[in-house]
Structure 1
Amino acid sequence: MAKDLLVAADRYRMQKLKLICENTLHGYVHASTVLAFSGLAEKYGCKGLKEACFKFLKRDSSEPAEKQPDRGRKIYQKSCQQERIQMPSSPGPAIVDPGRSSASTIAADMETGSHELTVRGYSGTKGLGVAGASHYYPDGYNVESSDCISLYLQLLVDDDQGDNGDVKAQFKFCLLDQGEPVPSYTLTSKRQEFARIKSHAWGWAKFIRRKELEESPHIEDDTFRISCHVTVPKIRAEETQVHFLTSPSKTDLHRHLGDLLESNVGADVKFRVGRETFTAHRSILAARSPVFRAELFGWMKEKWAAQVRIDDMEPRVFGAMLHFIYTDSLPQIEGDRRVMAQHLLVAADRYCLVGLKMICEDMLRNFIDTNTAATTLELAEQHGCRRLKERCLNFLKNPGNTIAVGCPSLVKDLLAKVSP
């Protein structure tokens, strides 16, 4: 199967699939396959596979492989109490620089770990300024971020390790809500270098504005939680007959689908929204939305229509929804983000786009005030947004927050939640 896939990948210039197939075939190089694999590698330009075959033919099969000692480094996370937490390790995929060829196999295992930081008595930490060498800065890291909470990650090394090298790591900070990451407050770094001698720390000076946190549902009883996930490549070397290539770990699928949407290549359906026309691909829409699947491939009349008309939706909202369907992300939103989130939530509910609905719901939870609580509450009730509805009802616990509600089914909930 790997041989056939390699041929197909070379034919259609699918480089990542070709690398995966080549990597798979390396594990099957032995006396009965080496000549066939060598010819395959020569024909389709598989340099790594070709070198592995030549190496197998040259080596003495009775010579055992000498495994070099594993040299890893520990990454630590410090909380606001200066607590030192060792990140647990777990095995990951072997990854190698495809441009390197030598007599050894070089692989990078992935050490991963996570730590959850709970800040209790949050209001008591405000006004303290920069909290020394801590990674949690309740009043910001500098003047520019004085209205924000800053979060940083720093490398700590035991003195008895005897390893003075720097470490490259990728990390992610997430604000948690009932144990789940909040998408709008989840930040992921690029791979950064943590210097041991200079003691550099990496993070975000403006992780979240204090006002946004204090007005959000993510803080309860003056307590909120943040998780930190760290991934560290751990290099190992061993003498072996196998020569690994890069195993692709990051997909470009969403970017490729976004390019497909913009180029209109292969588009087979048109949508008329207001005065604008959008082109798309029936199969992609059907795969992402059961409503589109029924409209375009089911019994509904749109199955045979050359152009589908969409009523009760603005063109910019439909365009943003299409962008999410293809890329799993929202485009840059211009203008009133709250109004756009409202319209997108309605569209997401209409086409059963659960991921888009959750993003819109999360956005709207940050815009609840006395001017918006009524419309947001009714919107949450109409479209089954439980978390958004709870946030509105919690807001109404304050006796000073009064609104006019036009949805009768909410009166009972309001009386139960808000009445003294």
Structure 2
Amino acid sequence: MADDQNAAARVNYGEGLRLKETWSRCVTECGAHNFELPDYSLLDGMGAGKFVRSSKFSVGGYDWKIRFYPDGEKIAPAAPTSYASAYLIYLSETLETITGKLALTMLDKDGKVVASKEVLETYVFSPRSFGWGWFEFVEKHKLKPPPSDQLHEAAGFFTIRCVLKVLKLEDQCNERLIKIPPPELPGQLERALKDGKDADITLLVGGREFGAHRFMLAARSPAFHAQLLGPTGENKNTPRVIEVVDMEPAIFEMLLHFIYTDSLLPPCDGEEGYGAPKMQQLLVAADRYGLDRLKAMCEEKLCRSIDVKTFTSTLALANEHCCERPKNACDEFMSKPGRVSDVLSSDGFKRLIASCTPLPLEDKTAPKKKLKFSLIN
């Protein structure tokens, strides 16, 4: 095998030249056809060698029919006629040979199998060898209903089901399929953001200026659309400089990158990824500007980063911004043994308690005039 591979590797005529290559492949196609025989009693006694046939059907791009001989195919004068015969007939006039596998099954009115035959080996059909089937397909006595059922409407109803699998050669392709280049729009928009070319608005965030394009902000964010274009979308008197408050410049940079590229800004060199605090801030920003996809991406990363240190802040954030997935992830985290005591003793929980306001709640175990305090945020 190694010698064959080396030999193939040495065949490189015209190194550096683009060789014209062609491609083809074999594929299989499977199909089924149901040939109904409403009343066998009308077929019994037709005589050996006489048949009824199905309508034409196509499998693998070739045409076929089923032939059923109620009194058997007449192979020899002395051949027994106690069997009915069934065959699949190849009808196409192409000179090529077709490789396939065949199964014929006869079913009664209730769908029960009366006879079943299958070609276990592969059979080759051609104009000179156009049929395949069985002389002794089914014993005739199995097709005759008992006297008590002879007057029944469906007593002699049978179906011959043909299942055929054909190997065929696909049309030749003169060239390998053209390789479609990756989408260019996200990269082009990212360059437009970085270059600041044709930017028509400046966003001031924590003393840092970001150039952007009004149409992009309005198209991507409902909040920006309302701020820049107004409720009717016709306000063109928006200031060229807008201050964004209550947000860190680094978080707004991530938000702006997502607006232009629909992806997260890659971490700086040396960083493996974004930690929970940054994802929490970005989730708040995404919720503020109506960026549902970015919010969902932040939720997914927060769900994966829940631990004793981040549990309290993640749960508080999830409650505040109606994020069900982080809530469920927090519930699952706390369901593990020992987690409750670990969280209660964590610095995050202590900070939460310190920032809470006491609220008097009724103590149901004490007299109604006495109150106990519970801390809520």
TM-score, scaled to structure 1? 0.38
When Rg is computed on C-alpha atoms for both structures, the one with the higher figure is: 2
Structure with the higher strand share, 1 or 2 = 2
Relative contact order (alpha carbons < 8 A, sep ≥ 6): 1 or 2 greater?
1
TM-score, scaled to structure 2? 0.42
